[in-house]
Amino acid sequence: MGNQLCKRGKLRWKRKPMGFVHHQTLPSHIGIKSVDVDKACNFSTTSNLCVSIVTWNMNGQVSFEDLSEMIGSNRDFDLLAVGLQEAPGNKVATMLSEALDESHVLIGKVTLQSLQLYLFGPKNAGSFIQELKVDKQSIGGCGGIIGRKKGAVAIRINYKGIRLLFISCHLSAHGRNVEERNYECRHISHSLFSKIWNPYSRPSHLTVWLGDLNYRLQGIHTNPARDLIEKNLHKKLHGHDQLLQQAEEGQIFNGFCEGTLTFKPTYKYNKGTSNYDTSYKVRVPAWTDRILFKIEDTDNIEATLHSYESMDQIYGSDHKPVKAHICLRLRQLQTESNSLTNI
């Protein structure tokens, strides 16, 4: 992805050292690959590492009940990444730890005002961590709200010799701002960790982008879209999804994977209900909240997606949380020393 610097609608190119997000250039664009879910997860038996990922735009509200419901009672994962947008205050980490009921502990966090990312691992996680670094990148000035920052926060970790990168973002809103969101993705990709850039560092085995990407449905009005959703025919809306369109055109997320969108659009709801927006704007529903992933070393690592779903039973925001479960299996076990080329 190229890097552009934005000055009030004008784009100009400026080269800078590449960050840690992408280290490979594909010969041609292939878009986002939709993958099916394999619901049978044999945690800790056939997998080397299982990761649960959650993203949620909280709309400035929080309750312990919602966070507990979001995490759920299933603890069949090694790591849990929780990306939050429009999160209120600094008490969320404590509430998440309480909701996990001591099965997992906080091992990494990074915040940018209301944009927050937390990483939890088992109690003995410290013995498996060879590296953990965080970074953040603001994209304020392109329509952000005071106290609700747009941008990205990231955690890079080497866990059990597997290099993982989690990027939680909140991009610019409104259906018309497609090019702005594309620019923000590219800028974030090349800016994160660039200040500690190491030309000898190895790419992440698994890169995960999560968050409120804010891509909307294009070319369809709200009533026809809602009619399809009501009839459980929302798969017919996939062709209107801006994120998939832009990826197909080679603008963003080349070579990433995403679970098939079998759940309903996650935005915008009347808060406290399962009804889509009835304000005077009657917004077109959209899959604004997404989880994408990419395996760099496909020869040695296999990733299986075991769930990709929205959590419709949570009503505390105008967005629904989205959750994914990814397990990694190493075809060829690679041992790495603590003195990796990473800084």
At residue 243's C-alpha, the angle toward residues 11 and 215, to 5°, is 80
Question: What domains sit in the chain, N to C, each tagged with a CATH number?
Answer: 32-215+289-330 (3.60.10.10)
Reply yes or no on whether the pLDDT at 25 is more than 60: no
99, 74 contact by CB (below 8 A):
no
Question: What local confidence, expressed as pLDDT, does residue 203 receive?
Answer: 84
Q: Which of 89-93, 151-155, 257-261 has the lowest mean pLDDT?
A: 89-93
| Mean pLDDT across 306-334 | 91
What does pLDDT average to over the chain? 87
256, 324 contact by CB (below 8 A):
no
- The H or E element that residue 342 is part of is none
> Residue 268: is the preceding peptide bond cis (ω within 30°)?
yes
Closest CA to 153 of 299, 40, 55, 256: 55
Question: How far apart, in whole angstroms, are the C-alpha atoms of residue 38 and residue 302?
Answer: 13
Question: How far apart, in whole angstroms, are the C-alpha atoms of residue 208 and residue 15?
Answer: 24
Say how many Å lie between the first and final Cα of the chain, rounded. Answer: 23
Question: How far apart, in whole angstroms, are the C-alpha atoms of residue 139 and residue 144?
Answer: 8
| Mean pLDDT across 39-60 | 88
Cα-flanking dihedrals φ and ψ of residue 133, to 5°?
A: -135, 155
Reply yes or no on whether the pLDDT at 15 is more than 50: no
Reply yes or no on whether the pLDDT at 72 is more than 50: yes
Reply yes or no on whether the pLDDT at 4 is more than 60: no
- Tell me whether residue 200 is exposed, middle or buried, using C-beta atoms within 10 angstroms of its C-beta: 0 to 12, 13 to 18, 19 or more: exposed
Question: What local confidence, expressed as pLDDT, does residue 56 receive?
Answer: 98
Tokens coding 234: 């929302």
Reply yes or no on whether the pLDDT at 298 is more than 90: no
Question: How far apart, in whole angstroms, are the C-alpha atoms of residue 176 and residue 284?
Answer: 13
Cα-flanking dihedrals φ and ψ of residue 6, to 5°?
A: -100, 130
pTM over 0.85: yes
Residue 27 to residues 10, 15, 33, 255, 258, Cα–Cα distance (Å): 28, 20, 16, 11, 21
Reply yes or no on whether the pLDDT at 127 is more than 90: yes
